[in-house]
Structure 1
Amino acid sequence: MNSLAKKLQEARERLGLTQAEAAQALGVVRELISLWESGKRVPGLAYVRDLARLYGVEEESLLDEGPLRLLEAEGFHLRGAPEPNLELRRWLDFLDAWAEFLEDLGEKPKPLRRPPRALDKGGAYTDRRSVAHLAEQVRAHYELGLDALPDLYTFLGELGVLVYRAPLGPLAKSKISGAFYNHPKLGWSILVNVDTTPGRQAFTLAHEFAHALYHYRTPGIVSRSDEKPPMERFADAWAAHFLVPGKAIRQQLKGLNGEAMVRDAFQAMWLARYFRVSYNTMLIRLRTERLIDQFIYEEWRFYNVSDLAQRLGLPVEEYKVPEAKARGWDLERYPLSVLGKVRHAVEGGSVSVAEAAAILDVDRTTLEIELLSPPKKVPTKMQALEASEFEDVLPF
């Protein structure tokens, strides 16, 4: 057995993974893992990189003559299902590569490492009794008022938070909704599990924003649904109040009923739509604000959300559990600011296409087709129809 084959087997067994589990995480058949570990086949460099991420070892240590060297991610303790761990390491690798890319361009980013002074509670705050006041304070600082928040992906991007999306698998299986990392060079960075509903993603973004504001002294936090230490419970409570302020609920109800009272599950669904949160999040907020009692909460939470949405004329697909994203979910991982900077760098000759593909961890063909090619000039039928409908009013 050659050195690489022996190390692959050693690294897998160190984590207690079967060949079948490793194959599932990598998106290959089990037989291929067996062939690599027997030395009958040699994995390509792309697979070597992913194997190193999966097993938590340095890529070079798989290829050189020395012993295996474990990867160290400051503040992170990656464990559990292999697929999420692979994606989390891919995220961490990207952050380091992105920081190096910005340095090569001569840019000196001013990373967010701690909140504005008016919001700073010391970086390790967990008192849940104050979450309502703190959430209102953050809204006031960023001039968000009490209405529904803007798209949180856009809002956090405008603040300078680097938000990355990754397919970690359904929450019931992976247990991971997101992660926060106070990167040494990039500052606040957030990962969101996109194998969850839009409502859950909004909650995750708010939850990780809470970690950034109040737990920035802990460099890395993986938010797991099966573990609720004080920081996680605080972030959950703060996110709920940040997304749906109690005062705002009552204002909306008075507009509907003339009084602060929820009459039926349809109104709860309407409020969820208004605040851009999930139906379950809204029910929890109505319960914690004592606008519904425990008996009503227990009854309403079992109503079919798709049925409620359809009967209110809302898009039903937004309330269905999404299918798990394919492992080839590539450029959609990155915020528009990252993709725009890479495109401009390639067009300006600062980096080659191959270098850009390496930074974004995609093959060159994917990069050229999905990012660098010019827009198609054939309009859609809807676009053509709309253009004809506007002919009599243009120019404004």
Structure 2
Amino acid sequence: MAIDLQKLGSKLAQYRGQLEQSVSEVASSTGIDANRLAAIEAGQAGPTGDEILILADHYRCDFKFFISNEQVAPFQQTETLYRAHSAAFTKEDRRAIQEFLYLCETEDFLLRELGRTTKEFSYSPTGYYFKGNGETAAARLRTVLGYDDRTVPRNVYADFRSVGVHVFRRKLGNSSISGLFIMHPVAGKCALVNCSEDIYRQRFSAAHEMAHAIFDSEQGASVSFERPDASDMLEVRANRFASCFLMPPAFLARLPAPVQWADSDAQRWANELRVSCVALAIALREAKLIDETTYRRISSLRVPHDAKIDPELPESLNATQHRRKAHLLELGLSNFYVDLCFEGFSTGVISIGRLAEALLCSHGELAEIASLYGQTLHGH
């Protein structure tokens, strides 16, 4: 089937528009002449095979999308976000979101090609009991994951991936954005957690986006802010889900009387639950276990940064490894995703060139990343 040049040009122009890039900026980045790019976008010229690959790499998408008249991309979903919250997304954030979607699609491809399966989980809300549905869904998901009321989830990212949600932590410039959810037309449910936030806040944000994946996937896309509108019941439900998933009411009911806690007790329990003191205080108030004075006192506390535990940055790393892995994590490269990419490479699912693209790096950087994650490039 011949490539429809008008459709191809429209796709390229739409990508460029969402990233807020000029033709000259794309030309500078890709090495393709600006006049030629303009002609391709106008449907007046057909790109060469190499130009298709270069542009696909620049826009972080599957090159097949450009040469297929059927394949789709999450334009509608991202357009919804940008139209509703245009001021919230910087140019750099739009680029980060595009790379996040590319990682989701790559992860989905590798999971299917490697025959990985996920647990089944779905929940149908009843009535308009937003908080109640959030609480019930959290309890049911914990059961599916094998948790009892006393168990504190240690790696929520792995938990949510295990039920088919693509979860990536990615640094965004706008610190008021906690995360976002996108229903990708190919990859399905995708959640981005802003890696600029506090470690424990990221856990809560991941659970919050999991709620959107459960309840709100038909909306296509949503963005969650650090201080949401209190009248937005979808956000209220997502927060209640996150709170009950991380801090089950039955767990809280067994705690020693919180009104008698010293500050160190509150900090210790927050750290045990892997949540902020603010999140713990809200959950205790919701459970009617503390008064307003105790709520304000616990909310004002902070778990010391060096006491916090990140499951994807273990203490076994030395300082150099920790710094390097933290940087890669900010780009979205989780241990799970990196291991998946190397497994795809070692089994012949992807080439070494595709491996470098999937890891957002050059060929020269592959050996360093392989060493950092205990992988090998030998024999390929």
**Length-normalised TM-score, structure 2:** 0.67
* Map of 1:385 onto structure 2: none
CA distance in 2, matches of 1:88, 1:165: 11
* Shift, 1:49, TM fit: 6.9
Q: 1:251 aligns with which of 248, 251, 254?
A: 254
Shift of 1:341: 2.9
Q: Which residue of 1 aligns with 2:81?
A: 77
Q: Residues 37, 226 of structure 1: CA spacing in aligned structure 2 closer, same or farther, 3 A cutoff?
A: same
Quick check: 1:354 aligned with 2:353?
yes
Q: Structure 1: which 5+ runs fail to align?
A: 1-9, 23-32, 62-69, 254-258, 377-396
Q: Percent identity?
A: 20
2:125 paired residue number = 121
CA gap 1:248/1:164 in 2 versus in 1, 3 angstroms: same
Q: Where does residue 205 of structure 1 map in the other structure?
A: 206
1:315 to 306, 315, 336: 306
Asked if 1:91 is matched to 2:96, the reply is: no
Alignment of 1:211-360 (within 5 A): 211-228=212-229, 229-253=232-256, 259=257, 261-303=259-301, 305=302, 309=304, 315-316=306-307, 329=328, 333-360=332-359
Seen in structure 2, the aligned counterparts of structure 1 residues 267 and 120 have a Cα distance that, compared at 3 Å, is same
**What is the one-letter code of the residue matched to 2:219?**
T
Give, in whole Å, the separation in 1 of the partners of 2:205 and 2:195.
Answer: 10
CA distance in 2, matches of 1:47, 1:225: 37
Q: CA RMSD in A?
A: 4.4
Alignment of structure 1 residues 358-373 onto 2, 5 Å: 358-371=357-370
Distance 1:13 1:97 in 2: 21
Deviation at 1:202, TM superposition (A): 0.9
After TM superposition, the score normalised by the length of structure 1 is: 0.64
2:195 counterpart letter in structure 1: V
CA distance in 2, matches of 1:149, 1:261: 25
Structure 2 Cα separation of the partners of residues 38 and 131 of structure 1? 44
What is the deviation of 1:52? 5.3
Structure-2 separation of matches of 1:188 and 1:72 = 15
Instruction: Map 1:58-73 to 2 at 5 A.
Output: 72-73=75-76
1:133-161 deviation per Cα after TM superposition (whole angstroms, max 9, x unaligned): 44333323433111222321222233333
Q: Which residue of 2 aligns with 1:195?
A: 196
Letter in 1 for 2:255: Q
Q: Is the 8 Å Cα contact of residues 271 and 307 (structure 2) preserved in structure 1?
A: no
Distance 1:326 1:143 in 2: 30
Contact kept in structure 2, 1:161 and 1:190, CA below 8 Å: yes
Name the CA distance, whole Å, in 2 between partners of 1:14 and 1:153.
Answer: 32
Q: Which of structures 1 and 2 has the bigger CA Rg?
A: 1
Alpha-carbon distance change, 88 to 238 in structure 1, aligned in 2, over 3 angstroms: same
Give how far 1:184 is off.
Answer: 3.5
Separation of aligned partners in 2, 1:14 and 1:374: 36
What are structure 2's unaligned runs of at least 5 residues?
A: 1-12, 33-52, 67-72, 311-322, 376-380
User: What per-residue deviation string (whole Å, max 9, x for no partner) do you get for residues 5-34 of structure 1?
Assistant: xxxxx99997897xxxx8xxxxxxxxxx99
